[in-house]
């Protein structure tokens, strides 16, 4: 019996040793150990936090989000008043964050691509001007740039001395007052015409791409699509008797009524983030273009393509495979940098959350909401950009 037990123990030891010497098995074991250790560490942190909160007489929960906020928000995309709930205030702040992030990403992309291409221009003056912009802007902290542009905007004329643009736009130190659209019966058809024009443009672009691959002939997709997207809804608008009217701002004694106002904080934040991030994007674009073999440009010239066609049809499509990964990081940085809005009083999700935190004392919950929001935005942006990067990647044959 003793001999049999010894043989079994020796066999078990041999099996364990064989398992440990197997590289794949050892890797799995180490990963499991690290995962269990991490889970235990997180559980300890959560347990200690809950115990400390219980000893301090504090409870954790999100029921406070139903309480009235009792504060105003200077820029809102949905209806909101001081009697709205904390949860409603956070939604308004989140929409403000999404607004400035979306505007900033679009503008920074346009600025960055334009500057990146122009910096490679053979024109010495243009190249040097763009280089000066890039080296100046990206070496000044973005917070200082936000405060700088905000300071300029609040020094604009007062309401009584507003600058009038086009008879319906008023510019002053309280922002830009613009006419607001009033949607009447029949606007649904105008919107449907817009969607139809977008779908038609996509179909035309697909057809033009296949036609170009087969015959080499080009088609003015941009101009045709632009004509459809603008012309079709406009024609529908007039055909239905103009179902969209405008609420034009009217000057009162101390302010304007009607229309809608874009606060200077939004403009300053949007402009600073766009210009700052655009400087970094321009370097990414420049490096991506330079990564394309010079033989590609020479081959395009030999085929009779003009410089603009070469850049648009040959260089940029290949450069995108180098540009997209670091471009994603810049989009994420812009979204997270929008939280600096609190420095100039633009009420994004961080600013509104900070007011709620001070009023309710729910620091743990508010910080958790902030982290969840920015994590979600970052993961969604990364997922989309990764999908796009995979979509344009070279297919191996």
Instruction: Give yes or no: residues 28 and 123 share one domain.
Output: no
What's this model's pTM, rounded to 2 decimal places? 0.82
Given this model, what pLDDT does residue 249 score?
A: 83
**What's the rounded Cα separation, in Å, for the pair 274 and 335?**
11
Instruction: Give yes or no: residues 105 and 29 share one domain.
Output: no
If we measure between CA atoms, which residue out of 259, 354, 352, 265 comes closest to residue 73? 352
Given this model, what pLDDT does residue 9 score?
A: 58
**What's the rounded Cα separation, in Å, for the pair 96 and 339?**
11
Instruction: Give yes or no: residues 21 and 113 share one domain.
Output: no
Assigned domain for 107 exists: yes
Instruction: Give yes or no: residues 269 and 318 share one domain.
Output: yes
Q: How many CB atoms lie within 10 A of CB 235?
A: 12
Given this model, what pLDDT does residue 202 score?
A: 92
Q: Find the CATH number of the domain harbouring 350.
A: 1.10.3720.10
Q: How do residues 189-242 score in pLDDT, each as one tens digit?
A: 888 889 999 999 999 988 988 887 788 777 888 888 889 899 988 888 888 877
Instruction: Give yes or no: residues 19 and 112 share one domain.
Output: no
The whole-chain average pLDDT of the chain stands at: 86
Segments forming the whole domain that contains residue 29: 2-55
Assigned domain for 47 exists: yes
Give the pair of three-digit tokens for residue 52: 């400390």
Taking only the tens of pLDDT, the chain with its 397 residues reads 555 555 555 655 666 666 667 777 778 888 999 999 999 999 998 888 778 877 877 777 888 899 999 899 988 888 898 899 999 999 999 999 999 999 999 999 999 999 999 998 888 999 999 999 999 999 999 999 999 999 998 888 888 788 888 777 888 888 888 888 787 777 888 888 899 999 999 999 889 888 877 887 778 888 888 898 999 888 888 888 777 777 788 877 777 877 788 889 999 999 999 999 999 999 999 999 898 888 888 888 887 878 777 888 788 888 888 899 999 999 999 999 999 999 998 999 999 999 999 998 888 889 999 999 999 999 999 999 999 888 877 654 4
């Amino acid at each position: 019996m003793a001999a049999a037990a010894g043989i079994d123990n020796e066999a078990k030891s041999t099996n364990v040793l064989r398992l440990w010497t197997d590289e794949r098995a050892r890797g799995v074991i180490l990963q499991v150990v690290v995962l269990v250790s991490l889970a235990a560490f997180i559980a300890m942190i959560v347990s200690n936090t809950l115990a400390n909160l219980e000893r301090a007489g504090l409870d954790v929960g999100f029921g406070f989000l139903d309480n009235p906020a009792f504060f105003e928000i200077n820029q809102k995309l949905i209806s909101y008043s001081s009697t709205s709930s904390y949860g409603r205030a956070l939604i308004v702040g989140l929409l403000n964050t999404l607004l400035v992030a979306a505007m900033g990403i679009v503008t920074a992309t346009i600025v960055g691509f334009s500057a990146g291409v122009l910096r490679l221009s053979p024109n010495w003056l243009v190249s040097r001007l763009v280089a000066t912009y890039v080296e100046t802007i990206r070496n000044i902290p973005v917070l200082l740039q936000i405060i700088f542009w905000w300071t300029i905007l609040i020094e604009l004329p007062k309401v009584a001395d507003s600058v009038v643009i086009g008879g319906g736009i008023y510019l002053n130190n309280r922002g830009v007052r613009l006419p607001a659209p009033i949607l009447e019966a029949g606007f649904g058809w105008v919107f449907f015409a817009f969607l139809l024009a977008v779908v038609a443009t996509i179909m035309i672009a697909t057809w033009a791409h296949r036609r170009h691959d087969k015959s080499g002939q080009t088609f003015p997709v941009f101009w045709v699509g632009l004509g459809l997207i603008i012309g079709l809804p406009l024609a529908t608008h007039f055909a239905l008797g103009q179902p969209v009217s405008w609420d034009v701002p009217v000057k009162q004694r101390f302010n304007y009524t009607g229309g809608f106002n874009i606060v200077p904080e939004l403009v300053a934040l949007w402009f600073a983030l766009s210009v700052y991030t655009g400087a970094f994007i321009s370097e990414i674009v420049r490096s991506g273009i330079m990564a394309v073999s010079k033989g590609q440009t020479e081959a395009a010239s030999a085929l009779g393509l003009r410089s603009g066609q070469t850049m648009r049809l040959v260089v940029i499509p290949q450069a995108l495979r180098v540009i997209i990964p670091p471009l994603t990081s810049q989009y994420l940085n812009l979204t997270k940098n929008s939280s600096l809005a609190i420095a100039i009083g633009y009420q994004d999700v961080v600013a509104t959350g900070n007011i709620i935190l001070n009023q309710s004392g729910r620091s743990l919950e508010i910080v958790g909401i902030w982290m969840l929001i920015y994590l979600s935005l970052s993961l969604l942006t990364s997922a989309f950009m990764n999908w796009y990067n995979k979509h344009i990647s070279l297919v191996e044959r």
